[in-house]
């Protein structure tokens, strides 16, 4: 499908011309991400060598497609680490499927490298406030942990990863133990989490946002009460608990949004203060959106970092 070539064309175009302004890079990246998010579900399900793909698995037993996930596991391999991936999209947009199959490409690529990957959907937007979104993510995590063993995963090596809004949701699920408890499990199942270009201090992010962003993105999902913003901040939950102990891979892009870079720095310091192992990774020559489109490439920084973090390749390997 021709559309499947667009992410690679976009990324190479933006990185091949050093004179391209960061503003132009951001605008072009946004346009391609919007295409990925809004052109509708991917009609084809490409096969990848060495990958066993299972599509449309329900993690909550209802008729909602947003309560389904796609599972990509190494074919004819046992005892691989398992990872749940949560997409971004500002808590309003996105899906595990897209016309430009960004997240499916990530799942297939990482599974080829030796990681089981569950790419989930979850409810979004004005009708589903932040608590419902975190609840969906927690339910998906619990389902994958309970069921991935039957597909050959080693659930003693169980990881969560999310990008952008997905990183916020993963962090809330990990740092506030009540969410996984409600889903029938606990944070003790987690071997580590990958927080990738997320926001972790909601009051600070809202204070920095423009009026249009507050009205159209923040308020519909998080409401207008500061105590709710504080409660739904991963940083607040981290500081309030000693329950979370697992290592954290904290990732940002060189050309990421300033507020994301600043909040990631703050979160990293607080994690270290609590004695939690933190690995910091900076993805060079990428922005907040373009970093996603390169994540399936075999030599990408994010892919190699996750392979090391999950133990698929030794940490000392290049």
Among the listed ranges 40-54, 70-84, 153-167, 295-309, which one has the minimum average pLDDT value? Answer: 40-54
C-alpha dist (Å) from residue 167 to 66, 163, 231: 18, 5, 16
Note the pLDDT tens digit of each residue in 236-280.
999 999 999 999 999 999 999 999 999 999 999 999 999 999 999
Note the pLDDT tens digit of each residue in 218-229.
999 999 999 999
* pLDDT on residue 250: 98
Alpha-carbon distance 237 to 243, whole Å? 10
Task: Decide: residue 90, CB within 10 A, 0-12 exposed, 13-18 middle, 19+ buried.
Answer: middle
CA-based radius of gyration for the chain: 18
pLDDT over 80 at 283, yes or no? yes
Alpha-carbon distance 106 to 132, whole Å? 26
CB 278 within 8 A of CB 246: no
Mean pLDDT score, 4-12: 40
pTM of the model: 0.89
| Reported confidence tier of residue 46, pLDDT bands at 50, 70, 90 | confident
* Cα end-to-end span (Å), the chain: 33
Alpha-carbon distance 206 to 226, whole Å? 10
Q: What's the chain's length in residues?
A: 318
CATH fold of 2-309 reads: Rossmann fold (3.40.50)
Note the pLDDT tens digit of each residue in 125-135.
999 999 999 99
pLDDT over 80 at 1, yes or no? no
Count of C-beta atoms within a 10 Å radius of residue 152? 17
| Reported confidence tier of residue 35, pLDDT bands at 50, 70, 90 | low
Alpha-carbon distance 133 to 125, whole Å? 9
């Amino acid at each position: 499908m021709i559309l499947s070539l667009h992410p690679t064309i976009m990324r190479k175009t933006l990185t091949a011309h050093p004179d391209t302004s960061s503003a132009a890079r951001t605008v072009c990246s946004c346009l391609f991400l919007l295409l990925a998010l809004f052109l509708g579900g991917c009609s084809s399900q490409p096969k990848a060598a060495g990958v066993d793909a299972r599509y449309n698995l329900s993690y909550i037993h209802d008729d909602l497609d947003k309560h389904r996930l796609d599972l990509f596991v190494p074919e004819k391999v046992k005892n691989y680490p398992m990872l749940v991936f949560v997409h971004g999209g500002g808590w309003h947009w996105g899906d595990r499927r897209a016309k430009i199959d960004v997240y499916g490409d990530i799942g297939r690529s990482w599974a080829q490298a030796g990681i089981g990957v569950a790419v989930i959907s979850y409810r979004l937007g004005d009708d589903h406030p932040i608590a419902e979104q975190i609840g969906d993510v927690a339910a998906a995590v619990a389902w994958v942990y309970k069921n991935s063993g039957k597909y050959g995963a080693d659930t003693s090596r169980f990881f969560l990863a999310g990008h952008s809004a997905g990183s916020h949701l993963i962090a809330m699920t990990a740092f506030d133990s009540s969410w996984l408890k409600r889903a029938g499990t606990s944070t003790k199942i987690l071997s580590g989490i990958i927080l990738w270009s997320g926001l972790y201090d909601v009051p600070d992010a809202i204070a920095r946002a423009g009026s249009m962003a507050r009205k159209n993105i923040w308020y519909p999902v998080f409401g207008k009460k500061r105590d709710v913003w504080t409660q739904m901040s991963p940083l607040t939950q981290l500081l309030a608990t000693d329950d979370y102990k697992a290592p954290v891979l904290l990732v940002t892009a060189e050309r990421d949004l300033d507020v994301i870079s600043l909040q990631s720095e703050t979160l990293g310091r607080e994690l270290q203060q609590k004695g939690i192992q933190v690995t910091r990774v900076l993805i060079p020559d990428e922005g907040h959106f373009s970093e996603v489109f390169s994540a399936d490439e075999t030599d990408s920084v994010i892919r190699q970092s996750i392979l090391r973090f999950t133990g698929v390749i030794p940490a000392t390997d290049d």
